[in-house]
A and B are shown apart, each in its own frame.
Chain A
Amino acid sequence: MKQEAKELVQMSYDQLKPGEELPVVELVVDDDLQGRYVLAVQDESPWYYKDSPWGGPITHPSTLAGSTILAARARYDYPFGWVHARQETEFINPLPLGKRVKVISKIIEKYRKRDKGYIVVESLLVDQDGIEIMRLRQHGMIDDERIREAAKTGLKHRPPPASERFQKKS
């Protein structure tokens, strides 16, 4: 996904509206990308590089379960220092390694808890044959005293640019 920084809007708790649909993102996880994740989490299962109960290797769920961030990142710059607070993941079907998947996302809720502002983003991952792979719901804490102080530094929490493997479709 190629994204110019100037196209991004700074994420603001007060301005976000539940119901907002985020850009649809497509991604393909190849050996190289998967290898990085399995090394990072030290998962040596052969399901991810050799054979699985479904035939060849499958995509490591870690490469997919954070997809809501990709969708939000396609439109917004994050507040510096925001924190991932909660994750709900439903595993529906395995995704063969190298198969394209579409991430369809929406901001479904925002709420305040103990003087902290949270947003909830929901995503459905569907592969190129229309098979549902995963359903995700992510709660991100994007506004509190620490984050407001951090914003004064002028720095932005800039996750790495999504690679060309991630294609913004809408």
Chain B
Amino acid sequence: MSVASKQMEVGQELPPLVKEISLDRMRLWTNWVNRNIHTDWEWAKKAGLPAPIAAGMMSHAYLSEMLTNFFGENWFKSGKLSVSFIRYVVPGDTITAKGVVREKRVEGSSVIFTADVWCENETGEKVTVGTASARVP
């Protein structure tokens, strides 16, 4: 499952991941029992939002999945992910999780890779931005 190896170089792109956002999936994520800004148009509008907005943690989940695919089990033992949610994600958006390695640091017999990671919508606007790192033994 893992793609990462110690021989990777700065600039290597992580295989991207594409996800479709729907209100049904947003409601599944939020365990839709109550109406709230993630599940209901009327409530979202009353909260001053353009539409029900996907929970930021859904983008976090997409990035984590991309990083799990890339680093394999090393992600679960050493992964760090820091992101800011900078733009609303709404039903109908198509979100692509992307990343690129920007630092490689040797520590003993392991290598720690740091990547710039982000999610962007179908128009190329970034919705989530941050960094991720993991150790490859």
A128 at the B interface (CB under 8 A): no
B49 at the A interface (CB under 8 A): yes
Minimum C-beta distance from B119 to chain A (A): 12
Cα distance A23–B72 when bound, in Å?
Answer: 34
Quick one: given A39-B25, A43-B65, A62-B61, are A161 and B33 in contact (CB under 8 Å)?
Answer: yes
A-chain residues with CB within 8 Å of residue B57 when the two chains form the complex: 62, 65-66, 84, 87
Q: Are B19 and A42 in contact (CB under 8 A)?
A: yes
Q: Are A88 and B77 in contact (CB under 8 A)?
A: no
Cα distance A89–B72 when bound, in Å?
Answer: 17
Spell out B's residues near A (CB within 8 Å): 1, 19-20, 25-26, 28-34, 36-37, 43, 46-49, 53, 55-58, 60-62, 64-65, 68, 72-73, 75-85
- How many pairs, one residue from A and one from B, have CB atoms within 8 Å of each other in the complex? 129
Question: Please, which residue of chain A has its CB at the minimum distance from the CB of B32?
Answer: A160
Spell out A's residues near B (CB within 8 Å): 36-37, 39-43, 45, 47, 52-54, 58, 61-62, 65-66, 80-81, 83-94, 146-147, 149-150, 153, 155, 157-161, 163
A-chain residues with CB within 8 Å of residue B47 when the two chains form the complex: 80-81, 146-147, 150, 155, 157
Q: Are A91 and B80 in contact (CB under 8 A)?
A: yes
Q: Are B34 and A160 in contact (CB under 8 A)?
A: yes
Identify which of B29, B62, B81 contacts A88 (C-beta below 8 A): B81
Q: Are B64 and A85 in contact (CB under 8 A)?
A: no
Identify which of A36, A65, A81, A93 contacts B48 (C-beta below 8 A): A81
Identify which of B19, B32, B37, B55 contacts A81 (C-beta below 8 A): B37
Q: Are A36 and B79 in contact (CB under 8 A)?
A: no
